[in-house]
A and B are shown apart, each in its own frame.
Chain A
Amino acid sequence: MNNKFDALKDDDSGDHDQDQGSPKDSEKEKTEDEDKDQNSSKRKMVVPGAGEHPLQYNYTFWYSRRTPGRPASTQSYEQNIKPIGGFASVEQFWRFYSHMIRPGDMTGHSDFHLFKEGIKPMWEDDANKMGGKWIIRLRKGLASRCWENLILAMLGEQFMVGEEICGAVVSVRFQEDIISIWNKTASDQATTARIRDTLRRVLNLPPNTIMEYKTHTDSIKYSMGRLPWTGEP
Chain B
Amino acid sequence: MLFGGGLTGIHPPRRGNFFELDNGMEVSRRRILQKHLEPARPLRRCVPADTEPNINAATCAQALRDEEEHETPIGIEQFCKIVNLHKKKEVARISYSRDVLLGLSSCPEAKKKPPFLPEHPIVLMEAGGRKAPLTLTHLHRG
Inter-chain contacts of B129 with A (CB < 8 A): 101
Is B140 a contact partner of A84 (Cβ separation < 8 A)? no
Cα distance, A156 to B94, chains bound together (Å): 7
Cα distance, A112 to B109, chains bound together (Å): 23
Q: Does A5 contact B (CB under 8 A)?
A: no
Is B96 a contact partner of A98 (Cβ separation < 8 A)? no
Which residues 92-140 of A have a CB within 8 angstroms of B? 92-102, 104-106, 110, 140
Q: Does B47 contact A (CB under 8 A)?
A: no
Q: Does B21 contact A (CB under 8 A)?
A: no
Segment touching A, from B23-31, B49-57, B65-73, B120-128? B120-128
Cα distance, A110 to B125, chains bound together (Å): 20
Is B101 a contact partner of A155 (Cβ separation < 8 A)? yes
A-side interface residues, number (CB < 8 Å): 44
Q: Chain B at the A interface: mostly helix, strand, loop or mixed?
A: loop
Cα distance, A106 to B98, chains bound together (Å): 24
Interface string of B97-133 (1 = CB under 8 A from A): 1101110110101111110111011111111111011
Cα distance, A153 to B101, chains bound together (Å): 9
Is B114 a contact partner of A99 (Cβ separation < 8 A)? yes
Inter-chain contacts of B98 with A (CB < 8 A): 149, 152-153, 156, 158, 202
Q: List 7 A-B contacts (CB under 8 A).
A: A84-B117, A84-B123, A85-B117, A87-B114, A95-B127, A98-B127, A99-B114
Given contacts A90-B96, A95-B110, contact A63 B122 (CB under 8 A): yes
State which of B114, B128, B141 has its C-beta within 8 Å of the C-beta of A141: B141
Nearest CB in chain B: distance from A161 CB, A: 10
Is B111 a contact partner of A157 (Cβ separation < 8 A)? no
Q: Interface extent on B, as a size class?
A: 35 or more
Nearest 10 CB-CB pairs, A to B?
A94-B110, A141-B142, A157-B95, A156-B96, A98-B127, A91-B109, A56-B94, A95-B114, A94-B105, A91-B110
Q: Does A160 contact B (CB under 8 A)?
A: yes
Is B93 a contact partner of A157 (Cβ separation < 8 A)? yes
Which residues 40-84 of A have a CB within 8 angstroms of B? 49, 51-56, 63, 82, 84
Q: Does B10 contact A (CB under 8 A)?
A: no
Write the residues of chain B forming the contact surface with A, with a CB cutoff of 8 angstroms.
Answer: 90, 93-98, 100-102, 104-105, 107, 109-114, 116-118, 120-130, 132-135, 140-142
Q: Does A206 contact B (CB under 8 A)?
A: no
Is A156 a contact partner of B95 (Cβ separation < 8 A)? yes
Nearest CB in chain A: distance from B84 CB, A: 16
Inter-chain contacts of B141 with A (CB < 8 A): 141
State which of A85, A98, A148, A160 has its C-beta within 8 Å of the C-beta of B111: A98
Is A94 a contact partner of B104 (Cβ separation < 8 A)? yes
